[in-house]
Structure 1
């Protein structure tokens, strides 16, 4: 016996990836529906070997459905997620709308699976920001061993995190660089993204940080430990898919780099590729389509007493969004609904 699953926002990059991952991981589905806005009505979407036609989200009745994986913006989520939850369908939301709600669990299954039991307070579970998700997978096993005091992270985030229009902008700007007269002005980003990096993701806050940077701070505290101090600099780079992060960690006690490497090798969801030779590390292009969070460049930071540096790479459309949502659905099925 399987589940009745709705994928909301099925025509977007993350929605399509959710359907792909549900099929790849052979999630126990009895019935599945692809939902989108009315303008996308009837669009054909692949689900494994079958093809689904999108249905109108506005007219859909969630009563009798087990789970809804939401991959739409916060504004639309604010309208439809409460309707689904009130109908008895558990919402797994990829937007930022509920992440900081104290009554809504913010889940990364490898990190805080026990928090799933709080879903019943609103019948909603939040999926974290893409840059946070991969980082906390790396932090948690190290925190369990040596307790983290402070994290300094610099991100190198791909354009797919901004959606299809951003992917098109990078592609068209790159082509335009080689064809005189066909240059493409920025529209998604405030500056040219092709052959450039932009130290600005989301809106600026009063303290000079961006909202993306604030998200990493707030979400790490909620998911891992509120006592951890986090400072982040988030940068958009001309990469289509795959987020990378340079992470500096300060611990309460000394942790040897070799022990850190062994801990990470044994940790769920992580693959360590760390050879001190040319190419002995993972880059974002190698993470595309993969489930793992990759860790490389593990080394002692000799400038502080108890420091480790590492390099963290993951497919942001997968672990940073769709995969984590499906893993939450699997966890919900295993621990709560127990139908599959």
Structure 2
């Protein structure tokens, strides 16, 4: 017997990816509904190769009798409708930032802290972490088990799809404008993104960090270990899909490159590609459409005691959003809902 699944925000990049991921992973679905705002009602979205869903209006949808909602409509919309769905008995896996730091809402990456899913009963909501946090903690988990991590310094190189369809459109339009010598007026991003880098993702906070950087700090502590210190610099880059991260780790004990590599090779959700030759590493283009977190360039950091550095890349729409949400739903269905 399968589950009745609602996908909220079904017309967006992540919502479409959620629908595809449900099919790809053969999630036991009896019925699926695509939900979005009233202006998108009536539009059509694909569910696998042979099924078309007509989008329904989220605001008027009755969640009674539905089992699981995969939600990615934006934080304000989620703040209103995720509790409404949960109150009707539909467990919500929420991809927005709104519930992540709520102490009564588990923040889950299934390869890292699947046991936290049990806390969903408090509010009927499970939070999906930020995309950049997800891929980092998947790679950090086996290393933390190996040698206990004391401190992480990370620089991210985040694709424009993290800013939604508008971000992808802006990169495309600006790139075309440069080649035909048209003027460029940034709209989605604060500066030109084509052939450029922008060291700002989300708004600035009082201490000079951005909210994206803050998310990586507090989410890593909530998911992996409150004792880990994290310092992040998040940069938007002119790449359509997949986020990259340069990660520097300080352990509480010596950890060799060989030990770290072996632990990462054996970790769920991680693929190591590291041959120390030209091209012997992963890049964003190669990970687009893939599920794993890829790790390359594992090496000793001689400037600190017990330090290692590595490079990791993942498709932010897959593992950074849709896949992680569906993996949560899989654990929820297998261990808690059990039809």
Where on the TM-score scale, by shorter chain, does this alignment land: which range? over 0.9
Q: How far off its partner does 1:304 sit? A: 1.2
Q: Distance in 1 between matches of 2:5 and 2:114?
A: 21
The answer for the alignment partner of 2:237 in structure 1 is 237
The answer for the alignment partner of 1:44 in structure 2 is 44
Q: Distance in 1 between matches of 2:73 and 2:60?
A: 16
Q: How far off its partner does 1:178 sit? A: 1.1
The answer for the alignment partner of 2:12 in structure 1 is 12
Q: Which runs of 5+ in 2 are unaligned?
A: none
Q: What SS class does the counterpart of residue 289 from structure 2 fall into?
A: coil
Q: Does 1:61 align with 2:67?
A: no
Q: Distance in 2 between matches of 1:55 and 1:109?
A: 30
Cα RMSD between the aligned structures? 0.6
Q: Distance in 2 between matches of 1:135 and 1:119?
A: 23
Q: Distance in 1 between matches of 2:111 and 2:314?
A: 15
Q: How far off its partner does 1:259 sit? A: 0.9
Q: Distance in 2 between matches of 1:145 and 1:172?
A: 46
Deviations 1:312-334 (A, max 9, x none): 10000011111100000001011
Q: How far off its partner does 1:183 sit? A: 2.5
The answer for the alignment partner of 2:122 in structure 1 is 121
The answer for the alignment partner of 1:254 in structure 2 is 254
Q: Distance in 1 between matches of 2:40 and 2:202?
A: 27
The answer for the alignment partner of 2:90 in structure 1 is 89
Q: Distance in 2 between matches of 1:230 and 1:79?
A: 31
The answer for the alignment partner of 2:156 in structure 1 is 155
Q: Which runs of 5+ in 1 are unaligned?
A: none
Q: TM-score, normalised by structure 2?
A: 0.99
Q: Distance in 1 between matches of 2:23 and 2:280?
A: 32
Q: Does 1:179 align with 2:180?
A: yes
Q: How far off its partner does 1:232 sit? A: 0.2
Deviations 1:4-31 (A, max 9, x none): 0000000000000000000011000000
Q: How far off its partner does 1:54 sit? A: 0.4
Q: How far off its partner does 1:189 sit? A: 0.7
Q: TM-score, normalised by structure 1?
A: 0.99
Please give the residue correspondences for 1:1-340 in structure 2 after superposition, counting only pairs within 5 Å.
1-48=1-48, 49-180=50-181, 182-339=182-339
Q: Distance in 1 between matches of 2:280 and 2:43?
A: 43
Q: How far off its partner does 1:184 sit? A: 2.5
Q: What SS class does the counterpart of residue 155 from structure 1 fall into?
A: strand
Deviations 1:202-261 (A, max 9, x none): 000000000000000000000000000000000000000000000000000000001100
Q: Distance in 1 between matches of 2:166 and 2:304?
A: 43
Q: How far off its partner does 1:305 sit? A: 1.6
Q: Distance in 1 between matches of 2:156 and 2:292?
A: 18
Structure 1's consecutive aligned runs of 4 or more residues displaced over 2 angstroms after TM superposition are: none
Q: What SS class does the counterpart of residue 179 from structure 2 fall into?
A: coil
Q: How far off its partner does 1:335 sit? A: 1.0
